[in-house]
Structure 1
Amino acid sequence: MAGPAEPQGKPRKAAFAAWIGSALEYYDFFIFGSAAALIFPKVFFGGSDTASATLQSLATFGVAYAARPIGAVFLGHIGDRLGRRKIMVSTLIMMGLATFLIGCLPTYAQVGGLAPTLLITLRVLQGLSAAGEQASANSMTLEHAPEDRRAYYTSFTLNGTQAGQIISTLVFIPVAALPENELLTWGWRIPFLASALVTIAGFVIRRNLEETPVFEQAARNNAVAKLPLAELLRHHWADVLRVVAAAVIATVTTIFTVWALSYGTSEAVGLDRSVMLWVAVAANGAALLVLPLWAKLSDRIGRKPVFLIGALGSAVMVFVYLWAISTGSYPLIFLAGIIALGIVYSAANGIWPSFYGEMFTTRVRLSGMAIGTQIGFAIAGFAVSFAAEIAGPKGDNWVAVAAFTSVLCVISAIAAATARETYRVPTAELGLRSAGHTAPARETATV
């Protein structure tokens, strides 16, 4: 069951590049979430009342998710035609530039309605970049990985994403502690301007990364898809829809990272914003340790059981976490947050890179993962705005928000339950059944 011959250490190199690149890129992406909850209502939407400004600010967070499916089509096509490495480098540069420019923007008080317009434009660029980042990093790592450890190696992409959230939150903690006047004038800009250093570091790491053996072999054999999107929709449309539905599990992250932060620091609850940011650090810190463990387990027992644990467990834990916030008890909030996001949700979050990627052939893997996940993530992104609506005029109806999130978790679980189990299928044979090809007998014997 050996895959293509690989130089020793290449899987580790690919995993490290995916980890560090995702950490650096998602630092950029998630500092926007913290700012949207704590800063932007006053800086970019000062012409509205508090409730409307908060709703508009949270909507800008979701705008990036609307742009991501568009970026997924474009970047997925390039990645399946020209290679994974080119996308991994270009998305990093695009994200870093957009984030740096956000830190340079004038405020509403300075230029009026032009300020939120510019903010939304740069947020769209962030979304276009994020559309190709995870899919390219996941494809790169999966195609380099040993066949019996694909989930373990691909989990480092998500591990990097969690690290990026930790870094972005840690940067925001001292910023959020600044006096109000300093925070709203120059303090909030620091995390965004620092992205210039982030971008340079990521570029240095990724520029020398080698292309995957299976893609190089396909290129040598002229087997690269000329129109990946057309082939994807012709042969893999059911799996694309399955990934879309499964990917809405990301709502757990957006509700935890953005809406719960806004709710906890609102007048309805009145929690300290710095402490709430530390909850995110603690939960993501736990996830760093747990993600590879869930991935190892899925390499032993399969993708579906582990994913279902995460999805159905999150459907329950979202009630527990939001209830804990409503009590105002910091020990309860930390405990519930660590269990909900750090441990339970990590079961699904840690193995989806391999679970989704294994549904597709090498010819359309990046497109399939990018398009499927980004449509699902778009739903998750705008879930924050919907949550703000159903939370009521005071923003304190956490039960409605928890119920909404729980329903999406169940939908994700149902989608995962209908998928094929692929953890023992050889890399070269992944996605062949979806494409209508007859797989070798050993695939049937090992599934």
Structure 2
Amino acid sequence: MSKDATAAQTPDDAPAETNGAAAGGESLRRVAVASFIGTAIEFYDFYIYGTAAALVLNQAFFPTLDPVNATLASFSTYAVAFAARPLGSVVFGHFGDRVGRKSVLVASLLLMGLSTACVGLLPGYGTWGIWAPLLLIALRFLQGIGLGGEWGGAALLAVEHAPRTRRGLYAAFPQLGPSVGFFAATGVFWLLSSALDDAAFRSWGWRVPFLLSFLLVGVGLFVRLKISETPVFTKVLDAQEASKAPAVEVLRRHPRELLLGAGGMIVAYGLFYTATTYCLAYATGTLGISRNTMLGLSLVACLFLAAGTWLAATRSDAAGRRRLILAGSVLAALWGLVLFPLLDTGRPALIALGIGGALFCMGVVYGPMGAYLPELFSARVRYSGASLAYNLGGVLGGAVAPLVATRLQSAYGSSSVGWYVSAMAAVSLLCVLALPETRERELV
């Protein structure tokens, strides 16, 4: 069979030979669907906070501050979750590497979903005073803990069930979760913003996306409880080789992979949160573009993210993970220089092109990472290692991006934000250059 014909196989067509046959003959399609739905729900929960932070949380929870400082305060609560994500990686990674991937994924989904839904029930500053923003920060911290344990488990669920020659294809499914989660989050906000007047939207409409999380958690649990443990980790348990302190072992045996892997993720996070959360606030607050227009343009741009993610992830089985990640980093460095000139035109088509191009570059980097980061670590510490690398990259690239961008634009103009994006891409490029190709590795 030719490479092109093989690459076109769907999950159910994939060869029966895997890293260890799926437990009980379990359908590989079910594994792909479970990893996809779980990440889509968890990232929906995470992204609705970012949209709300850009549009309404500054007035709902920080009404006593001037507009710039209120926006910074809102983005600061947004950043809290990124600081919590490495902690979630350690906690959930510990049990994921000792007990199993499946049970930890169920726990992370519950924590993420319930803390998100509670944001929708939280009274604003006008009702609870200072307790409102403090509780908002606490709930955002719990969101971060939950998401810190989600991605690594979902990626391993797909990769450790997959045939060696199809790991990029299977990893594409959890990697598409953020695209779908972001599309759903933006779509719900766009519908509410279109259907409600401004007063109703700011009073209660923004809470609806958070409350929907109660329903989504139920759907996610239903799907995830039907899957089995991965065959790779089952072998680790059977051989009694589970690590007693996975995070410590990662730091001792894999420090290079951990730090360089985190550095490789910086540009993906930086691009996403600059092009979505910050650009949404910048366009509506500084350029005077309507909220509905920007939410609609964000929906269009999200399609570019999904396309870049799927293209790069599936092609990585033939072309190699590292090569595509490097190509995405170069594209991101170049696109950072045109992103804000396109936005500053104020023309919807060019704004969509600017944001869509940035998200496409992000997808090219992000897609292969679903297989690349797990392949960097041994099976006994893979959950902890991949999760920590992924989420440390989030702290460096995602947590500070809206904050730095707000300060740079205020002090030096929008072009400086584009140079900041290009600088993040250069850092990721150098980190991945120092790492090896992994697509031929066995998951042992």
TM range (shorter): over 0.9
Aligned with residue 357 of structure 1, among 370, 374, 379: 374
**1:2-41 alignment runs, 5 A limit:** 3-6=19-22, 10-41=27-58
Q: Relative to structure 2, which stretch is displaced further, 53-62 or 418-427? A: 418-427
Aligned to 1:209: 227
Q: Which runs of 4+ in 1 moved over 4 A?
A: none
1:369 aligns with 2:386: yes
1:278 aligns with 2:292: no
Q: Which residue identity lines up with residue 336 of structure 2 in the other structure?
A: V
1:414 aligns with 2:430: yes
For the 8 Å contact 1:10–1:144, the answer to whether it is kept is: no
Q: Work out the CA distance in 1 between the residues paired with 2:232 and 2:160.
A: 7
Q: 1:195-243: per-residue Cα shift (whole Å, max 9, x none)?
A: 1001111011101210010111110110111111222112111100111
For this pair of structures, how many residues does the alignment match?
Answer: 424
For the 8 Å contact 1:30–1:164, the answer to whether it is kept is: yes
1:171 deviation in Å? 0.2
For the 8 Å contact 2:275–2:358, the answer to whether it is kept is: no
1:142 deviation in Å? 0.7
Secondary structure in 2 matching 1:188: helix
Q: Work out the CA distance in 1 between the residues paired with 2:274 and 2:80.
A: 15
1:257 deviation in Å? 1.4
Identity %: 34
1:2 deviation in Å? 6.2
Aligned to 1:338: 356
Q: Work out the CA distance in 1 between the residues paired with 2:137 and 2:275.
A: 22
Q: Work out the CA distance in 1 between the residues paired with 2:29 and 2:182.
A: 22
Q: Work out the CA distance in 2 between the residues paired with 1:3 and 1:79.
A: 18
Q: Which residue identity lines up with residue 231 of structure 1 in the other structure?
A: E
Aligned to 1:218: 236
1:166 aligns with 2:183: yes
**1:145-184 alignment runs, 5 A limit:** 145-177=162-194, 178-184=196-202
Q: 1:373-396: per-residue Cα shift (whole Å, max 9, x none)?
A: 111101222221121112116xx8
Q: Which runs of 5+ in 2 are unaligned?
A: 1-16
For the 8 Å contact 2:308–2:361, the answer to whether it is kept is: no
1:269 aligns with 2:287: yes
Q: Work out the CA distance in 2 between the residues paired with 1:351 and 1:58.
A: 29
1:18 deviation in Å? 0.8
TM-score of the pair, normalised by structure 2: 0.93
TM-score of the pair, normalised by structure 1: 0.92
Q: Which residue identity lines up with residue 19 of structure 2 in the other structure?
A: G
Secondary structure in 2 matching 1:265: helix
**1:369-408 alignment runs, 5 A limit:** 369-379=386-396, 380-392=398-410, 397-408=413-424
1:196 aligns with 2:232: no
1:339 deviation in Å? 2.5
Secondary structure in 2 matching 1:392: helix
Q: Work out the CA distance in 2 between the residues paired with 1:277 and 1:153.
A: 30
For the 8 Å contact 1:138–1:154, the answer to whether it is kept is: yes
1:150 deviation in Å? 0.5
For the 8 Å contact 2:19–2:160, the answer to whether it is kept is: no
Q: 1:411-438: per-residue Cα shift (whole Å, max 9, x none)?
A: 011111111111112233xxxxxxxxxx
Aligned with residue 87 of structure 1, among 88, 104, 116: 104
Q: 1:304-328: per-residue Cα shift (whole Å, max 9, x none)?
A: 1100111111122133222211110
Aligned to 2:245: 227
Q: Which residue identity lines up with residue 264 of structure 1 in the other structure?
A: A
For the 8 Å contact 2:264–2:431, the answer to whether it is kept is: yes
Q: Work out the CA distance in 2 between the residues paired with 1:284 and 1:90.
A: 28
Aligned to 1:431: none
1:9 deviation in Å? 5.5
For the 8 Å contact 1:100–1:194, the answer to whether it is kept is: yes
Q: Which residue identity lines up with residue 19 of structure 1 in the other structure?
A: F
The two structures, once aligned, show a CA RMSD in angstroms of: 1.5
Aligned to 1:327: 345
